[in-house]
């Protein structure tokens, strides 16, 4: 896909995230401020992924928005520009098997630790999107992916990284349409599950698996736990 950022659609032009949250922390003495966002929590298959990004104070890349507001083409076009622009970035993943074995909350924490550990710098402050601090000691921002430039950058880096993984894996699991749905629910994905049952990429502890035909794979349930309910994006 093209690395030239496409012209912004009119609906996105007035919705740019800024550096207001980051500047407050910089001015308070924090040298390294990391924006963090997750993708894949609500997917039926594949990893949950967490992006971490450290944006520079004196350079800007325009057209960055919350990844959910952008098309796949727009995200891909921005990815390399963002990766070259940020001072540091990392994406951590927790596999579908880890999602089953640990539960989604712990798997998200694991992916976040891997993302933070993947940075070459240690954060002084961490900004995380939403109302849940899945890192520990982070500052939570409701709609942070729409208002914080570092979180928005992290959201795109995480989303594109995970999408690329799912497109590669789609070659090994034809029929589930992973190249298009990235493991999320959709009619083709549901029909494939009804026809063939789950693949090795599916999260087999979730409630949506209750009424499926099983094809030899063992249903997973953590000892002493309820079956997992899909939440989030």
Nearest to 16 by CA among 208, 189, 150, 146: 146
List of residues 6+ apart from 136 with CB closer than 8 A: none
Class of domain 16-170: alpha beta
Q: Residue 197, by phi and psi: left (phi above 0), alpha (psi -120 to 50) or beta?
A: left
How many angstroms separate the CA atoms of 221 and 212, rounded? 15
Q: Residue 46, by phi and psi: left (phi above 0), alpha (psi -120 to 50) or beta?
A: left
How many angstroms separate the CA atoms of 83 and 78, rounded? 9
Torsion angle defined by CA atoms of residues 157, 161, 166 and 169, in that order, rounded to the nearest 10 degrees = 180
Query: What does the chain come to in residues?
Result: 233
Q: Burial, 133: exposed, middle or buried (Cβ in 10 Å; 0-12, 13-18, 19+)?
A: middle
pTM of the model: 0.87
pLDDT tens for the chain, residues 1 to 233? 345 666 766 655 667 889 999 999 999 999 999 999 999 999 999 999 999 999 999 987 777 887 888 889 999 999 999 999 999 999 999 999 999 999 999 999 999 999 999 999 999 999 999 999 999 999 999 999 899 999 999 999 999 999 999 999 999 999 999 999 999 999 999 899 888 888 999 998 877 677 665 565 656 666 665 544 444 44
Report the pLDDT value the prediction gives residue 197, as an integer from 0 to 100. 84
């Amino acid at each position: 896909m093209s690395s030239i950022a496409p012209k912004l659609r009119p609906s996105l032009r007035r919705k740019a995230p800024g550096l207001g949250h980051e500047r407050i922390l910089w001015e308070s003495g924090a040298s390294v401020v990391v924006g963090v966002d997750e993708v894949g929590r609500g997917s039926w298959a594949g990893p949950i992924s967490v992006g971490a990004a450290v944006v520079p104070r004196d350079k800007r890349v325009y057209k960055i928005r919350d990844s959910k507001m952008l098309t796949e083409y727009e995200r891909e076009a921005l990815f390399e520009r963002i990766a070259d622009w940020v001072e540091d970035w990392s994406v951590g993943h927790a596999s579908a098997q880890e999602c089953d074995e640990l539960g989604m909350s712990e798997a998200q924490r694991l992916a976040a630790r891997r993302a933070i550990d993947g940075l070459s710098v240690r954060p002084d402050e961490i900004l995380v999107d939403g109302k849940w601090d899945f890192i520990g000691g982070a500052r939570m921002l409701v709609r942070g992916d729409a208002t914080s430039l570092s979180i928005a950058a992290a959201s795109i880096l995480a989303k594109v990284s995970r999408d690329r993984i799912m497109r590669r894996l789609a070659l090994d699991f034809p029929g589930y349409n992973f190249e298009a749905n990235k493991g999320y629910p959709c009619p083709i994905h549901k029909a494939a599950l009804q026809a063939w049952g789950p693949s090795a990429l599916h999260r087999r502890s979730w409630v949506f698996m209750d009424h499926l035909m099983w094809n030899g794979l063992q249903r997973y349930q953590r000892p002493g736990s309820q079956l997992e309910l899909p939440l989030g994006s």
